[in-house]
Structure 1
Amino acid sequence: MHDTLDKRAPGQAHAGWVAQMVHPLADQGVGTPASFISKQFDLASIAGDEVLAISALGLYRCFINGKRVGDDLMTPGWTSYDARLSYQTYAVADLLVPGQNRIEIWLADGWLRSQLMWGGHPIFNTWGDKIAAIAELRSGENALLVTDASWQSGALPIRKSGIYFGEVFDARVPAAVSSGTEALPFDPAILVAHETTPVRELAPLAPIKSWADAEGRTVYDFSQNMGGYVAFTVTGDAGATVSIEHAEVLDQDGTFYNGNYRTAEARIDYTLAGTGEEHYRPHFTFQGFRYARVTITGNARITAIEAVPISSVTEVKASFTSGNKLVDRLVLNTLWSQRANFIEVPTDCPQRDERLGWTGDAQVFAGTACYLADSHGFLTKWIRDVMVDQREDGAVPHVVPDPTRMQPEHYPGFFGSTGWGDAIAIVPWQLYLHYGDAAILREALPAMVKWVDFVWSISDGPIVNPPRFWGARGFSFGDWLQPKGPSAKPLPTIGDDAAATIYLFITSSLVGRIATITGDKALASRMEKMAAEVKAAFAREFITASGRLCYDDQTSYALAFLHDLIPAEHVEAAKRYFKSTIGRSEGRIGTGFIGTPALLPALVKIGEPGLAASVFLQEEVPGWLYQVKKGATTIWERWDAIQADGSIYNPQMNSYNHYAYGAVCQWLFEGVAGFRPDANDPGFATVVFEPTIIPELSPVAASHDSKNGTIRAGWSMDGDKVRYEIEVPQGARGLLRLAPDYRDAMVDGQPHNGADRELAPGKHLVTFTYAAPQREEIAASRVNARTP
């Protein structure tokens, strides 16, 4: 069953569909056995150019003459199905024979109709209650076979499947024809050629250890948290069962624990046929897990087992190593979280009853995503779904594809949060920076403008005052999951009004810049005027006469400094207040989803690279390296997901595979290794090299496979001497920019005068003297909470 032919045909559009969308009458509805449709057909000869174009409502797998078509997973993928449905195209001549042939298309609930959203208010049949398939087999312009109501149908040995549920498979049940089919009303105009890298299996992982629990069940540790499934080989009697449960962590006493999955059963049940060696892996689901607990009922024995990660991210495009192994593991953890959550849609997590395309997570992580993997098609496709799901008044949903748009009664007002909806502008901007894609800017610009105008309309002015309660128009998540600090005296948190106003400035400024790039001068002028008005209002409303921001927290200062919202007369005082927020938190992070990516770049920008290093490298909670020390192999949702005493945080919202805080890797590439795209010459046509020296990380080495070739940069220290080695790809130019306090700089053996210096393609050596910041001052700032 799993012998595959990867014969995906070139991605040209399949025009002029004549096939019908066909529903198996054997289907009994959501949560019932999966179904198939099939057809026998004759071919006089094989021309060699036969191509199958295929899609489905639900998930499909296709077989021709008993052999699987392609090896893509979770097809046709996940889009806003009522407006955009992907199809795949495969070259299938090798599967066909002269004479009689048989095609069989397996169908399951998938994202279309299995549970979405969480336990209290789950949504079923989100985009429809009938699974169906559409397919055309063509040779040149000739249609050899199309789906229509003459096809037959039957039930499959997959007795139940669901994204959150898992899969139940009874190998004793034959896939036998029992019913006919019906053609559904369907507009083929919504079919779009699959726009992103298909989901595929990655290299499997063998268990590093296993043990029996107190009830005789076997627990396997696959060493790595992932998104994927367990594959196994089993022998035994017909009717014996293998049941698999999944978990990300063990609890405090080393016991299998998956309470944080909430209502997601995340289970696999396999019933043996008793025919000798049987091989199984799920067909229409995936789980987030590191551990698997196996229960065998009856006479059966597992002879082989492995964990198989799956992802739309199939190739790694970057590397980062340093003198700190915890930092290196943090980067690897971020990559694994991206893999697990880049399965067709950039989701928050792959394990619990959620797994949704949260816009806030995606907007903070998009830059990092584009470094670690080729995310061009993946994020472009997702942004198109964001545009589909955007409401008429410009509000962007919290999650995309948005299950609540079709059934709003379950989650009224599930849209419109600043910091989340801004993904409509920030993600395309990252695609422009990394890939030079101006087309996505033009395509998404009208949606960006609608969003900015919506945010302005929340309070009808430049200061945005979001309502407090979920579902109210303009509700904002603010700086989501910001750590509170000591329970005796929690640290201050940015107010929703300041956060929303800052984001209105960020995005109106960005949309003005995008309008300039795309040639819309009138729009650029309007957005620039709006941004200027917001900036002035922010200074009046949120900055005191002494230069202190009113909420006096890390996120306020980080975002305000990074986006130049501090008036010149207040900059020096605000720097001191900013540093004081670090001191009050004892040198630890005090930021949430929107503040964390800005924190370290902002500290470097105000001339405090040593303080940035101190915050980044500290190993207590909250901190990036704390979770690595606790054994994390992916990025956690919460800083304290496992607390210092080993206890597990409240399982109601506690994922161990959330990529958002991994956005710090963008700073590791752009700040520490020191290379980034130039917004004035995007797509890495010009690469800006500007390193931030953190002695504790020496030696640093990083690379990125850009669209213009491989970029390399790394530095090492010998005393106060820095050796910075860089490589400009052959398809690009370099631009060297060194901090003023990097003294005695030499470039390829020639003195450097301190100005930006153009670098030709090839390797270059830069040397300079580095004066470390005063560590005693940094240490004091971690202890003293004095304000200026």
Structure 2
Amino acid sequence: MTPLSAPTAPRFEHRTDGGPALGLTTVRPRLSWTVPLAPEDYRQTAYEVEIHRRDDDTERWVVESTDQVLVPWPSAPLDARESVTVRLRVRGSDWSPWSEPAQAEAGLITPTDWKARFISPVGLGGLRQPAPQLRGAIHVPGRVVKARLFATAHGLLSARLNGNPVDDTVLAPGWTSYEHRLRVRAYDVTPLIREGQNTIDVTLGNGWWRGRLGFLGQRAHYGHRLAFLGQLEVTTDDGNVHVLATDESWGARASGILMDDIYDGQTTDLRHDPAAPFDHAVEIVDADLAVLVGEDGPPMRVTETVPAQQIWRSPSGKLLIDFGQNLVGWVRLRVPASGPGEEIVVRHAEVLDAGELGVGPLRSAKATDTYYLAGTGDELLEPAFTFHGFRYAEVDGLDEIRCEDIEAIVIGSDLTRTGWFESSHEMLNQLHRNVVWGMRGNFLDVPTDCPQRDERLGWTGDIQVFSPTATYLFDTGGFLTSWLADLAAEQDASGRVPHVVPDILRSEVTTIPTAAWGDAATVVPWVLWQQTGDRGILERQFASMRTWVDHVASIAGDDLIWRGGVQYGDWLDPTAPADDPFNATSDPDVVATAHFARSADIVAQAAEALGDADAAQFYGRLAERVRAAFNAEFVAPSGRIVSDAQTVYAMALEWDLLPDARQRAAAGERLADLVRASSFRIATGFVGTPLICDALTNAGFEDLAVRLLLQTQSPSWLYPITVGATTIWERWDSLLPDGTINSNGMTSFNHYALGSVVDWVHRRVAGLAAAAPGYRAISVRPIFPSALDRCSARHRTPYGDAAVGWSRADGVVTLEVEVPVGARAEVELPGDATVTTVGHGRHRWQFVETPAEGTALHTVRDFLDDEHAWEELTRFAVDNGLVASETQLARLLAPFRDRPVAEIADAVWTRIWPSESTKAALAGLVAHYAAAASAPTRPLSAQLEDAALHV
């Protein structure tokens, strides 16, 4: 019998950093843990928390509860700077062993805890001057027991204590809505402090505070002066605390960083004298310490290094480096000894253009790092206050570079990976890798749209559609908690949500309520609750959620139809003109009203989860009324929806906007026909893409959903992979089939939104989904696509690892499921109407797959649905010049979908007028496939050998 193991050391809130959870400003931190192993019949009945608060103060709290995720802090609130050690155990029928201890420490909680004040150099560090350096000194008279540095900045900071970096983070303190929330980090600098004299040097960069930000070319959105706030507290063995706080006693000097900008790069003069005196004064600048907050999620760090894959000369003679992966960070370059003042220039781009660095998609961003060498020997070059999105680099100033002397430094918020996927389809695996890399590059303290051009903003619509995928792939609990706090802070009193958060556009246009973008206020908290089980996120965001819906209701008016305004609609629908992405096929009023109904429903469910019965009833009724209004305004009795686009049907089906079963069935059929008419190419933008495959699957057309997923012709998810993409693109055709860059002026090659389809891949292709908040119940419901031989998904839930894997061999499918302790799984097998519920542990099922029987191809629709028959028909039509593409053929046949299959030749003949011999050959091909489809003993692929079918 499996023994009950000790639980893991408790986790505080959403902290994922290894070691102590420092700088907590949540004074009653919630606790979570997992139980690695337990007997088959184990069910938690209670837990006991031991809190060691002081040398002689240990508390124990027994709580009768089955909960183990984000349970309440049982003791008194933490005081500022207070350290605690926590361990726990759980009880089933008997108590488990105690967990390993976990340490936590409160930070500075209120403004009165600060002795420091913001300081800024006098006469240095202006907007176009070198980055300033500040220095403070402290004498420590005794052996150091503990040392903490609490620090933040107006701008970016890079701090060194006695010449050593204070930690391994980059671009601190990150980007928040600075007017409302400025993040403070607590650094453990105990190993760096020595008895006697100590100095701390801090270099300040422009960053998001003062650098160029936004595509309008504006600078200094938050202020014109850089400033630093720091408080170093050193405890010695005699119990005394020695404090160095920023004040007028600090000095300043110019650094060798001549220019730094997130978009444009950094210029560094390495001839800067490290012994230059700090002979400029500093002064205290007025700042509100009440906006200081602690960290909710992990900081930004270097997360990986990528070596150069290839070095060559471009047609113009430029030295180019390919790192083989589109990534975010910078280039680290080691150069041999050269003369002082030699200039090295490194430029960055995501793609090549006619064999040269493709800088067009960067728009005005220079993405260039420049160095003037010191001439003192081999030198290591890398910036500190910028980042670039790139795969390729161009280096000027060197005759040659060795691969071992150059590498790409990957940075990002140091999120813990929690989700994996693998299958027998290598291109699908690459799609998944591309989504992961796209998320890594854009989750840089803020969920940005892109990391390379003159934008890099927290567009709300992008994270709204991608949040289910994001929360599966990485632990984003703390990251998105912080961003949602910014969203609520930026939301105005009427409930309007800006289109980007933090809002640096500050335009009347970009605060006009916009569907799908503003709905991030409701969707993202709801997704976090579903994925993490964090009820607290609903509590914190509920006012924001409901005021957004209230504002939309006020716009919609009495008939509850959201009309007009600034709407992005189904943004970047591939049918929209390249120069007019607003002009998508889906009617923007349909898109807006559908989102209104969805958000009202989410708020109703959130109110119910929070126990607010009145609000649940109010918003539930509002959602019902909006659904009724949607049907009355946009839906015909036949199920047709205004604008007749894939996205409007996907929304209506997935968001329960069609209460009539006949309308739902008709809408599902119409959606499938639209997919056929596109020849199984994607026709959705940001709004429809997360929904289309679910809508097809739930309407009974999972085969069409899989064909859509695995399509390789443009537009599709796999087309970019055929031309070498390693991240998700902003547009379906960011790189055109002829190898040229889409030149519309808005083309990013690292833009995660369209990768939201892998949420469906995780849940339905692999079959792993949450059935209750936080995965306390897991839904296992794979569709077992015939295009795959095996498939697996694994997710690190709040309860531990959950996994689903399936494979087929010799007509037998094997399904394996792993359920963590504290959770259960609800398993549905094909052809079995019952749901099997299993507890924690490993489970295995096998079943014999029913062989696919040949289906007679009675109609044109049947012919399109037979993948092999359709492939051969389109090949014939294209090869013989009847159509330019299979998409043209699919559209040509669309009016004939319900006609007998034998009429395909007549349909083509009446539209194209081919020769009689070609028409006869076409009719023969169709007849052959129509007959062969009902005879499965001969594989369809073998029929391609029949020479009579080829002209």
Q: TM-score range by the shorter chain?
A: over 0.9
1:434 to 531, 536, 546: 531
Asked if the contact 2:586/2:648 (under 8 Å) is kept, the reply is yes
Pairwise CA distance, 1:769: 4.2
| Residue matched to 2:133 | 36
CA distance in 2, matches of 1:56, 1:785: 61
> What are the superposed Cα offsets for residues 235-294 of structure 1, whole Å, 9 maximum, x if unpaired?
21110011011010112x332211100011110001100010111211011000000000
Residues 318-467 of structure 1 correspond to what in structure 2 (within 5 A)?
A: 318-405=419-506, 408=507, 412-467=509-564
| Residue matched to 2:662 | 569
| Residue matched to 1:605 | 698
> What are the superposed Cα offsets for residues 516-543 of structure 1, whole Å, 9 maximum, x if unpaired?
1111111111101110111001111111
Please identify, of 771-780 and 648-657, the stretch whose mean Cα deviation from structure 2 is larger: 771-780
| Residue matched to 2:99 | none
2:717 to 617, 621, 624: 624
1:510 to 602, 611, 614: 602
The change in CA–CA distance for 1:259 and 1:779 in structure 2 (over 3 A counts) is farther
Q: Amino acid of the residue matched to residue 21 of structure 1?
A: F
1:714 to 805, 816, 819: 805
Pairwise CA distance, 1:568: 1.9
The change in CA–CA distance for 1:765 and 1:778 in structure 2 (over 3 A counts) is farther
User: Secondary structure of 1:652's partner?
Assistant: coil
Pairwise CA distance, 1:7: 9.2
CA distance in 2, matches of 1:646, 1:44: 67
2:349 to 247, 255, 260: 247
2:639 to 547, 571, 584: 547
> What are the superposed Cα offsets for residues 756-778 of structure 1, whole Å, 9 maximum, x if unpaired?
22111111112234455988656
Q: Amino acid of the residue matched to residue 14 of structure 1?
A: L
User: Secondary structure of 2:774's partner?
Assistant: coil
Please identify, of 560-569 and 533-542, the stretch whose mean Cα deviation from structure 2 is larger: 560-569
The change in CA–CA distance for 1:61 and 1:187 in structure 2 (over 3 A counts) is same
| Residue matched to 1:100 | 197
Asked if the contact 2:309/2:403 (under 8 Å) is kept, the reply is no
Asked if the contact 1:234/1:303 (under 8 Å) is kept, the reply is no
User: Secondary structure of 2:307's partner?
Assistant: coil
| Residue matched to 1:87 | 184
The change in CA–CA distance for 1:480 and 1:320 in structure 2 (over 3 A counts) is same
CA distance in 2, matches of 1:302, 1:586: 44
Pairwise CA distance, 1:301: 9.5
User: Secondary structure of 1:661's partner?
Assistant: helix
Q: Amino acid of the residue matched to residue 591 of structure 1?
A: T
User: Secondary structure of 2:697's partner?
Assistant: helix
The change in CA–CA distance for 1:179 and 1:299 in structure 2 (over 3 A counts) is farther
The change in CA–CA distance for 1:238 and 1:464 in structure 2 (over 3 A counts) is farther
| Residue matched to 1:767 | 846
Asked if the contact 2:522/2:603 (under 8 Å) is kept, the reply is yes
2:611 to 519, 533, 545: 519
Q: Amino acid of the residue matched to residue 559 of structure 1?
A: M
Pairwise CA distance, 1:397: 0.8
Pairwise CA distance, 1:653: 0.2
2:257 to 146, 158, 170: 158
Q: If the length of structure 1 is used for normalisation, what is the TM-score?
A: 0.92
Unpaired runs of 5+ residues, structure 2, are 1-17, 25-105, 871-889, 899-951
The change in CA–CA distance for 1:278 and 1:460 in structure 2 (over 3 A counts) is same
Question: In the alignment, is residue 578 of structure 1 matched against residue 675 of structure 2?
Answer: no
1:615 to 705, 708, 728: 708
Asked if the contact 1:240/1:297 (under 8 Å) is kept, the reply is no
> What are the superposed Cα offsets for residues 111-153 of structure 1, whole Å, 9 maximum, x if unpaired?
00101111xx222110111110101111358351100122111
1:146 to 245, 256, 271: 245
| Residue matched to 1:750 | none
> What are the superposed Cα offsets for residues 286-307 of structure 1, whole Å, 9 maximum, x if unpaired?
0000000000079999971100
Residues 628-639 of structure 1 correspond to what in structure 2 (within 5 A)?
A: 628-639=721-732
The change in CA–CA distance for 1:107 and 1:241 in structure 2 (over 3 A counts) is same
| Residue matched to 1:785 | 894
Pairwise CA distance, 1:492: 7.4
| Residue matched to 2:573 | 482
| Residue matched to 2:944 | none
Pairwise CA distance, 1:457: 2.0
The change in CA–CA distance for 1:769 and 1:333 in structure 2 (over 3 A counts) is same
Pairwise CA distance, 1:672: 0.9
Residues 494-505 of structure 1 correspond to what in structure 2 (within 5 A)?
A: 494-505=586-597
Q: Which has the higher contact order (CA 8 A, sep 6+)?
A: 1
Pairwise CA distance, 1:445: 0.5
Asked if the contact 2:311/2:403 (under 8 Å) is kept, the reply is no
Q: Which has the larger radius of gyration?
A: 2
The change in CA–CA distance for 1:572 and 1:774 in structure 2 (over 3 A counts) is farther
Please identify, of 719-728 and 225-234, the stretch whose mean Cα deviation from structure 2 is larger: 719-728
Asked if the contact 1:386/1:424 (under 8 Å) is kept, the reply is yes
1:65 to 129, 141, 162: 162
CA distance in 1, matches of 2:206, 2:179: 16
| Residue matched to 2:786 | 695
The change in CA–CA distance for 1:7 and 1:535 in structure 2 (over 3 A counts) is closer
Please identify, of 217-226 and 478-487, the stretch whose mean Cα deviation from structure 2 is larger: 478-487
CA distance in 2, matches of 1:431, 1:597: 17
Unpaired runs of 5+ residues, structure 1, are 468-473, 746-753
The change in CA–CA distance for 1:509 and 1:301 in structure 2 (over 3 A counts) is closer
The change in CA–CA distance for 1:779 and 1:27 in structure 2 (over 3 A counts) is farther
Question: In the alignment, is residue 201 of structure 1 matched against residue 302 of structure 2?
Answer: yes
The change in CA–CA distance for 1:665 and 1:302 in structure 2 (over 3 A counts) is closer
| Residue matched to 1:122 | 217
Pairwise CA distance, 1:573: 2.0
> What are the superposed Cα offsets for residues 668-707 of structure 1, whole Å, 9 maximum, x if unpaired?
11111111112xx311111111111111122102111111
Question: In the alignment, is residue 275 of structure 1 matched against residue 379 of structure 2?
Answer: no
CA distance in 2, matches of 1:695, 1:302: 43
| Residue matched to 2:774 | 683
RMSD over aligned Cα, in angstroms?
2.3
Question: In the alignment, is residue 664 of structure 1 matched against residue 773 of structure 2?
Answer: no
The change in CA–CA distance for 1:545 and 1:73 in structure 2 (over 3 A counts) is same
User: Secondary structure of 1:180's partner?
Assistant: strand
Please identify, of 764-773 and 309-318, the stretch whose mean Cα deviation from structure 2 is larger: 764-773
Asked if the contact 2:776/2:823 (under 8 Å) is kept, the reply is yes
| Residue matched to 1:305 | 406
Asked if the contact 1:237/1:300 (under 8 Å) is kept, the reply is no
CA distance in 2, matches of 1:243, 1:124: 24
Please identify, of 577-586 and 634-643, the stretch whose mean Cα deviation from structure 2 is larger: 577-586
Q: Amino acid of the residue matched to residue 147 of structure 1?
A: T
> What are the superposed Cα offsets for residues 177-234 of structure 1, whole Å, 9 maximum, x if unpaired?
2411111111211111122111111221111111122443310000000111100111
CA distance in 1, matches of 2:853, 2:627: 32
CA distance in 2, matches of 1:353, 1:486: 23
Residues 526-545 of structure 1 correspond to what in structure 2 (within 5 A)?
A: 526-545=618-637
User: Secondary structure of 2:305's partner?
Assistant: coil
Pairwise CA distance, 1:26: 4.1
Q: If the length of structure 2 is used for normalisation, what is the TM-score?
A: 0.77
1:74 to 171, 175, 192: 171
The change in CA–CA distance for 1:214 and 1:616 in structure 2 (over 3 A counts) is closer
Q: Amino acid of the residue matched to residue 230 of structure 2?
A: A
Equivalenced residue count is 755
Please identify, of 67-76 and 764-773, the stretch whose mean Cα deviation from structure 2 is larger: 764-773
